[in-house]
Chains A and B, each alone.
Chain A
Amino acid sequence: MTGWVAANLISVLNGLAIGALLFVLAVGLSLVFGMMDVLNLAHGALFVVGAYLAAALTGGGASWGAFLGALGLAAVIGLLGGGLLSVMTEPLRRRSHLDQALLTLGVALIVAELLQIVFGDDPLAVPAPPGLDGSTSVFGAAYPTYRLVLIGVGAVLAVGVWLLVERTTLGALVRATVADRDMVAAIGVDNRRVKITVFALGSLLATVAGVLGGPVYGASVGLDSTVLILALVVVVIGGLGSVRGALVGALVIGQIESLGRALLPDLASFVLFGALALVLIVRPRGLFGGRSGATA
């Protein structure tokens, strides 16, 4: 019995680690979709760019220098990539979601193909930085040290993003734009610049998540669509354009993917989308989707 409890506590802990990573991945997607109505299907590709960067830089051997270098480079690429995506979707702002989704899907496909050409077809692994590559004993069982650290890093990033959005003027502007884009324009704020800023920061978080997720997920062809679907599920469950929603959605999905699969192994393929269906039936706008968040 104690063994059973300990094993499930490890699943809970693991759900936190996965949830932390999912939050970093999904919050940018949520804000960009909620604010500017741009469904950025290239978000998964940005994650994979980060993962491949980490694989490439740590390919010669794991070191802190390589790992932090990958984080820094991924952040810069994320900023530039996000800004570029924002500019690319700008001419389509008055068009339907579908047009923007098709454009970003096209970008995602091109990026994925280029990554495959540059880095090859074989799946690549990303070693955790020295000191974090071992295991720590938790509840009497070995648990990867890196994942413990990941929980902490995710928490720090979540607090950082929350402070930025809830406690700064830029954040107030972001929230205002989520709620009523036209009104923001009416008080004389150029919301294209707000959009570029949020797009760039959200994309930065996606590429950084790719590096952080490297030691867990590796880098491989097809990973982009898998993580994109996870991020979309997080956004749908949490509600659009809400930091709190993205955080809760990510933690819920983390637990479903971890504890849910551990408790219901026979329904492993079903629990994720079962939970999604349940949320959509009970709260069609997601757990934290406001009435105004998804309008216009």
Chain B
Amino acid sequence: MAEFTLSRRTLLTLFGAAAATPVLAACGSSVGGGSAGSTGGGATGPVKVGLVIPQSGVYAALGTDMQRGWDLWLSQHDKKIGGRDVTTIVADEGENPQTGVPAVQRVLQADQVDVVVGLVNSATALGAAPVVSEAKKLLVVTNAGAADITGKARTPYVWRTSFQNAQVAAAAGPYLAQQNVQGGVFLIAPDYAAGTEVRAGFKAAYEAAGGKIAGEAAPPFGTTQDYQPFLSQIRQSGAGAVFCFFAGAEAVRFVQQYAQFGLKDTVPLYGSGFLTEGGVLTAQGAAAVGVKTSLFYTDRLDNPANRVFVDAYRGAYQAVPTCYSVSTWDAAAVLDRALGKATALDGDALSAALGGVGAIDDSPRGPWTFDGQNPRQTMYLRTVEGTPGSLYNAVTADLGQKAQV
């Protein structure tokens, strides 16, 4: 299945349909680019950034949001990062490491970029880590949430501005324990690495706070169209609430089927924020109203930086920003600080500079700092409100600052 997408794009290019497709036209082209009025010279020469994001396959929608976050930051800052003119090379990450890692290699070798930004897929990020380490270039991960990226498989060259899967899930644990859910919480997430991290992260935090897990399920990832057997299991478990992790089309199906099978009104649904983030929320419609999720961002956050950010984003794209946009916007923001200090553009210099950026106080998500190479950031409990067509994640509770797990 995965290979289909790779060849899908290759095939289309072969058939010459590329010219007709705006998405493809952006592929490999340069966005941004140095402007005529650059300061130029010395330590403030241009910097080349490889933005590796999915433009095809199931994650393509995330890629769009990420690119918008990046482009918006540049357009708000005179197309300069750390005083240097920026050239952005966009490459298609695709769905999996088979397409993503070569894309990273390509921007490093063929395009000679100084910094790589992006990556949705955790396996791709883990596969890209040795590549950037060997090249001694900096990689700023702006989505992929596997713990190992900044944990067990840590290298000085890979930093992350997004989140850790377990960090997001664990934030909801103490909150649900305080709610004293009768019958305990049922835990469900797909049977792949991220799902497992979410289940482990939530379970540890919830049980540590005195909660009781009523049951667990791990539906097959990517091939489950129908959640009825698992919904049946939830009903039988007698759980008083459900915590789940799903993304993309699976998030839409799960939330809708949860409502269709009548669980929505009797067993409150909680989840990691990706469940109701971005385009999936529109598709879920009325079924999503009342679903509560934990995440480090929602466009409804009431802080000055976010108000400016959301207005600018709406103005530029006629859409609301997502956590994916913010993570990439923040990648530009931290690079701006690091490049301002660093004397060179190699990975060692930039990694050292990133270690000293301190608190990022102008982020739309609120203030955050690097804890190791991953953000220490405030998590929020969000509740879906509004009516179909204009649904949004309202802030219900501040779950406090969370370090990486």
A residues contacting B by CB (< 8 A) are: 3-4, 7-8, 10-11, 14, 18, 106, 108-110, 112-114, 116-117, 120-125, 127, 135, 141-144, 146, 216-218, 220-223, 225-227, 229-230, 257-262, 265, 268-269, 272
Contact bitstring B254-293, A, C-beta under 8 A = 1, else 0 = 0011001111000000000000001110111100000000
Q: A110 and B17: CB pair below 8 A?
A: yes
Q: A259 and B229: CB pair below 8 A?
A: yes
A-binding segment of B72-80, B137-145, B213-221, B368-376: B213-221
Assuming the contacts A116-B60, A258-B226, A265-B217, asked whether A143 and B261 have C-beta atoms less than 8 A apart, the reply is: yes
| A146–B226 CA distance with the chains assembled, in angstroms | 14
Q: Of A125, A141, A227, A268, which is within 8 A of B261 by CB?
A: A141
Q: Is B191 in the interface zone, CB < 8 Å from A?
A: yes
Q: Is B196 in the interface zone, CB < 8 Å from A?
A: no
Closest to A7 in B: B232
Q: Is B56 in the interface zone, CB < 8 Å from A?
A: yes
Q: B217 and A123: CB pair below 8 A?
A: no
20 CB < 8 A contacts A-B: A4-B236, A112-B4, A117-B23, A120-B279, A121-B64, A121-B279, A124-B252, A135-B261, A142-B261, A144-B260, A146-B260, A217-B226, A218-B256, A226-B222, A226-B225, A261-B230, A262-B228, A262-B233, A268-B229, A269-B220
Q: A11 and B60: CB pair below 8 A?
A: no
Q: B1 and A222: CB pair below 8 A?
A: yes
Q: In the complex, how many angstroms separate the beta carbon of B274 from the nearest chain A beta carbon?
A: 13
Assuming the contacts A117-B21, A222-B1, A223-B249, asked whether A10 and B228 have C-beta atoms less than 8 A apart, the reply is: yes
Q: B235 and A7: CB pair below 8 A?
A: yes
Q: B228 and A220: CB pair below 8 A?
A: no
User: Which B38-70 residues have C-beta < 8 A from chain A?
Assistant: 56-58, 60-61, 63-64
Q: Of A8, A123, A143, A216, which is within 8 A of B226 by CB?
A: A216
Assuming the contacts A10-B228, A265-B217, asked whether A229 and B12 have C-beta atoms less than 8 A apart, the reply is: no
Q: A268 and B218: CB pair below 8 A?
A: yes
Assuming the contacts A7-B232, A218-B283, A262-B233, asked whether A110 and B11 have C-beta atoms less than 8 A apart, the reply is: yes
Q: A221 and B60: CB pair below 8 A?
A: yes
Contact bitstring B1-29, A, C-beta under 8 A = 1, else 0 = 10011011101100101000101000000
Q: A269 and B191: CB pair below 8 A?
A: yes
The 4 closest A-B pairs by CB, nearest first: A142-B262, A122-B279, A220-B249, A121-B60
Q: Is B390 in the interface zone, CB < 8 Å from A?
A: no
User: Which chain B residues border A226 with CB–CB below 8 Å?
Assistant: 1, 222-223, 225
Q: In the complex, how many angstroms separate the beta carbon of A139 from the nearest chain B beta carbon?
A: 11
Q: Of B8, B233, B249, which is within 8 A of A109 by CB?
A: B8
Q: Is B355 in the interface zone, CB < 8 Å from A?
A: no
Q: A120 and B252: CB pair below 8 A?
A: no
B residues contacting A by CB (< 8 A) are: 1, 4-5, 7-9, 11-12, 15, 17, 21, 23, 56-58, 60-61, 63-64, 191, 217-220, 222-226, 228-230, 232-233, 235-236, 248-249, 251-253, 256-257, 260-263, 278-280, 282-285
User: Which chain A residues border B285 with CB–CB below 8 Å?
Assistant: 125, 127
Closest to B224 in A: A268
User: Which chain A residues border B223 with CB–CB below 8 Å?
Assistant: 226, 229, 269, 272
Closest to A144 in B: B260
Q: In the complex, how many angstroms separate the beta carbon of B208 from the nearest chain A beta carbon?
A: 25
User: Which chain A residues border B284 with CB–CB below 8 Å?
Assistant: 125
Q: A258 and B58: CB pair below 8 A?
A: no
User: Which chain B residues border A259 with CB–CB below 8 Å?
Assistant: 229
Q: A11 and B228: CB pair below 8 A?
A: yes
User: Which chain B residues border A223 with CB–CB below 8 Å?
Assistant: 249
Q: A122 and B280: CB pair below 8 A?
A: yes
Q: A113 and B217: CB pair below 8 A?
A: no
Closest to A270 in B: B220
Q: A258 and B229: CB pair below 8 A?
A: yes
| A113–B262 CA distance with the chains assembled, in angstroms | 35
User: Which chain B residues border A120 with CB–CB below 8 Å?
Assistant: 61, 279
Highest count of chain A CB atoms <10 Å: which of B7, B249, B252: B249
| A144–B56 CA distance with the chains assembled, in angstroms | 33
What 19 new A-B contacts, CB under 8 Å, besides A112-B4, A123-B249, A124-B283?
A: A10-B232, A11-B228, A14-B228, A109-B7, A109-B8, A109-B11, A113-B9, A113-B11, A113-B21, A120-B279, A142-B260, A216-B226, A221-B249, A257-B229, A258-B226, A258-B228, A261-B219, A268-B217, A268-B230
Highest count of chain A CB atoms <10 Å: which of B232, B236, B262: B232
Q: Of A110, A114, A122, which is within 8 A of B278 by CB?
A: A122
User: Which chain A residues border B217 with CB–CB below 8 Å?
Assistant: 265, 268
| A272–B220 CA distance with the chains assembled, in angstroms | 11
Q: Of A125, A141, A222, which is within 8 A of B256 by CB?
A: A125
Highest count of chain B CB atoms <10 Å: which of A4, A222, A272: A222
Q: In the complex, how many angstroms separate the beta carbon of B317 from the nearest chain A beta carbon?
A: 13
User: Which chain B residues border A216 with CB–CB below 8 Å?
Assistant: 225-226
User: Which chain A residues border B257 with CB–CB below 8 Å?
Assistant: 144
User: Which chain B residues border A18 with CB–CB below 8 Å?
Assistant: 226
Q: In the complex, how many angstroms separate the beta carbon of A143 from the nearest chain B beta carbon?
A: 7
User: Which chain A residues border B249 with CB–CB below 8 Å?
Assistant: 123, 218, 220-223
| A256–B61 CA distance with the chains assembled, in angstroms | 33
Q: In the complex, how many angstroms separate the beta carbon of A229 from the nearest chain B beta carbon?
A: 7
| A113–B55 CA distance with the chains assembled, in angstroms | 11
